[in-house]
Structure 1
Amino acid sequence: MDGATVTVNDDAYSDRIRCDHPVACAAEPLGRALIEAARQRHRGRVVLLARSGMRPGFEACGMTHEATMPGFYDGREDCDVFGYAIDPGRGRLAEPAAVGEVDELIANAQPTRQRATPPTERGATADAEGITALIADTFQHYPTPTGNTAYVAEQIAGGIPFRVVRDGGDVVACASADLVRSACTAELTDCATRPDQRGRGLMQALLGDLMDDLRRLR
C-alpha cells in the first residue's frame, strides 16, 4: 500500500475487522487488504471509517458505503462509513422489524418536554460492575467489550469519559465515548437505560453532560 502503515483492530467481540481514519494511503489496495485480513482471521465483517475523498477506491474493491457523518473531522470534513460482509448474514439486518419500529418512532417523534431529571455523574472505576451489568442486559444480542467489567474499569482509569445516573446506588443509565483524538472528535456509545427508568429524559441529560466532558478534553 505504497509503504503506508495503518492501524487495524481485530475486533473479536463484534466478529469484525475495523479500520478507523487511515491517512496517506491508496484506498483500493487498503480495502482489499482489509477484506483479505478478515478472511484469514475468519471474521464476518469489515468496517472502515475514512475521509469522504477515499470513497471511489473503497467502492472499487466491493465495499458498500453505509453512512456519512457530516463534519466528523474537526467540523470541517465528512467521514464515510464502509462495510464489507464476509459472512453474507452480516450484510443483512438482524431484526428488520425492530429497525422498522425505530424508524416509525423517529418519523412520529414529538417535541421534547422539559423534565426534571436526577443529576448525572462522571463514572468511576467503582461503577464498572454496574455499567457492565446494565450494558449486558440492554445489548443481549450485540457483542460488546463493555460487557466486561475489567475492560470498563480499565477504560475509565485510562481517562475515557463515562457518565452515569444512579438510583438507590444502582447504575440505571450510562453513556460513554470512543475518542478519536486525531480527528478532534468522538463517537458517543454505550448508551443504555434500564427499562423501568425510561421516558424520564435520563439519556438526554447524560449526553448533554458527556458532550461537556468531551469539550473540556480539547
Structure 2
Amino acid sequence: MTEDRIEQFHGATIQHGPESDRIYLMKTGTADLSELPGELKAYAKEKGYSKIIAKVPASAASRFIGLGYSKEASIPGFYNGRETAEFLCYYPDSSRRTAANSEEIQQNISLARRMHDKPLPELPEGVSLVTCTPDNAEEMSALYREVFPSYPFPIDNPDYIRETMQTHIVYFGALCNGRFVALSSAEMDEEHANVEMTDFATLPAWRGHSLAVHLLKTMETAMKKRGIRTAYTIARAASPGMNITFSRAGYTFGGTLVNNTNISGGIESMNIWYTSLAVSRES
C-alpha cells in the first residue's frame, strides 16, 4: 500500500496526495479561517487535485461556503458534544462531484436505515474480543494487507500501528484459537471528546458473523470510560455490511462524501454515521 501524507498547512492539519487525489482538512488548528479556504483552493490547483474536503466547526462554515464550498455531511456534537462538524467540499474537477454508483449508494443507505437498532446476534462460540498491544502489530498489519489492496492510512505497516497505539488510537481484535480474525480501531480526538470508529477488517472466512458490530459495542464501552462524547465512522458507501453495522448499532446517517477516498483499489464514496456516547440511547 502507498498512502497520502499528513502535514501542517498554515496552522491547520491536512492529508493530501495523489492516492486519493484530494486535500482533506482534518483540523483547522491555529489557521486563519478568513484565509484558509482560499489557501486550500490555491494548493489544490498547484498540485492538480480534483477534490477538497474540509472538516470544520459549524461556526466557521460560512467562510468556506462564501468561497464556493458546499456541504456534503455533518456530525452534530463533534466538538465536545456541543458544536457540529461540517464536511464541506470543493471540486476543482466538476466531474468528480457525481458518483457513478449513486443509485447503489442510496439503496445501501435505505437498507441500513431499515436495520436501525435491530437486535444484535450472539458472539460466535470460541471468539473473544480483546484490546490489542504492540506485540500484536505484526499479525495485525498482515491481516490488514490481506483485506485491503489500498488504504488511506498505512495500517499495513506494523511500525505505524505501534506508533499510533502510543499516541491516539486504541486497536481492538476478535480472536479465535489465538489468531486474529477481525480488527478495528478507535481513533481518538481527546481534545474535542470525539472518536472515529474505523479500520474494520474481517478475514473473508469470518464474514457474516457480525464481528464488526461486536467490536463496535466493545469500542463504545471503552470510549465512554475515557470521557468521549461523540462517536462516528466514515464507511464505504458501496459496502452494505458496514453501513448496516453502524445503523444496527443505533448510529444516525450524516451524509455522503462523494468520490472521496482511495480504499480497496480505487476512489470510493464514503458515508458518515454518528452517535452520542454522552447519554444512553435507551434513556
Provide TM-score, normalisation by structure 1.
0.81
The corresponding residue for 1:75 is: 81
- Indicate conservation of the 8 Å contact 2:11/2:30, yes or no: no
CA distance in 1, matches of 2:195, 2:88: 18
Gap change, CA 1:27 and 1:157, over 3 Å in 2 = closer
One of 185, 192, 202 as aligned partner of 1:183: 192
CA distance in 1, matches of 2:107, 2:150: 17
The structural deviation recorded for 1:201 is 2.7
What SS class does the counterpart of residue 182 from structure 1 fall into?
Answer: coil
Structure 1 unaligned spans of 5+: none
Gap change, CA 1:21 and 1:8, over 3 Å in 2 = closer
Gap change, CA 1:184 and 1:197, over 3 Å in 2 = same
Corresponding letter in the other structure for 2:88: F
- Indicate conservation of the 8 Å contact 1:161/1:213, yes or no: no
Kindly indicate which of the two structures has a greater share of residues assigned to strand.
Answer: 2
One of 121, 125, 128 as aligned partner of 2:134: 125
- Indicate conservation of the 8 Å contact 1:68/1:78, yes or no: yes
- Indicate conservation of the 8 Å contact 1:127/1:171, yes or no: no
The structural deviation recorded for 1:28 is 4.8
User: In percent, how many aligned pairs have the same letter?
Assistant: 24
- Structure-to-structure mapping, 1:34-73, within 5 angstroms: 34-73=40-79
- Indicate conservation of the 8 Å contact 2:187/2:195, yes or no: yes
One of 7, 11, 30 as aligned partner of 1:6: 11
The structural deviation recorded for 1:29 is 2.4
CA RMSD of aligned residues (A): 2.8
One of 20, 35, 39 as aligned partner of 1:33: 39
One of 134, 145, 160 as aligned partner of 2:143: 134
Gap change, CA 1:98 and 1:163, over 3 Å in 2 = farther
CA distance in 1, matches of 2:177, 2:223: 27
- Indicate conservation of the 8 Å contact 1:28/1:60, yes or no: no
The structural deviation recorded for 1:189 is 1.2
The corresponding residue for 1:145 is: 154
The structural deviation recorded for 1:216 is 3.5
Gap change, CA 1:166 and 1:92, over 3 Å in 2 = farther
Gap change, CA 1:38 and 1:129, over 3 Å in 2 = farther
Gap change, CA 1:160 and 1:113, over 3 Å in 2 = closer
Corresponding letter in the other structure for 1:126: D
Which structure is richer in relative contact order (CA contacts within 8 A, separation 6 or more)? 2
The structural deviation recorded for 1:101 is 4.8
Gap change, CA 1:16 and 1:181, over 3 Å in 2 = farther
Corresponding letter in the other structure for 1:63: Y
The corresponding residue for 1:202 is: 211
What SS class does the counterpart of residue 123 from structure 2 fall into?
Answer: coil
Gap change, CA 1:90 and 1:129, over 3 Å in 2 = farther
The structural deviation recorded for 1:57 is 1.6
Structure 1, residues 118-144: CA drift from partner, whole Å, max 9, x if none?
321111223223333333444435543
Structure 2 unaligned spans of 5+: 1-9, 228-283
The corresponding residue for 2:122 is: 115
The corresponding residue for 1:154 is: 163
Kindly indicate which of the two structures has a greater share of residues assigned to helix.
Answer: 1
The corresponding residue for 2:247 is: none
CA distance in 1, matches of 2:38, 2:57: 17
The corresponding residue for 1:216 is: 225
CA distance in 1, matches of 2:208, 2:57: 36
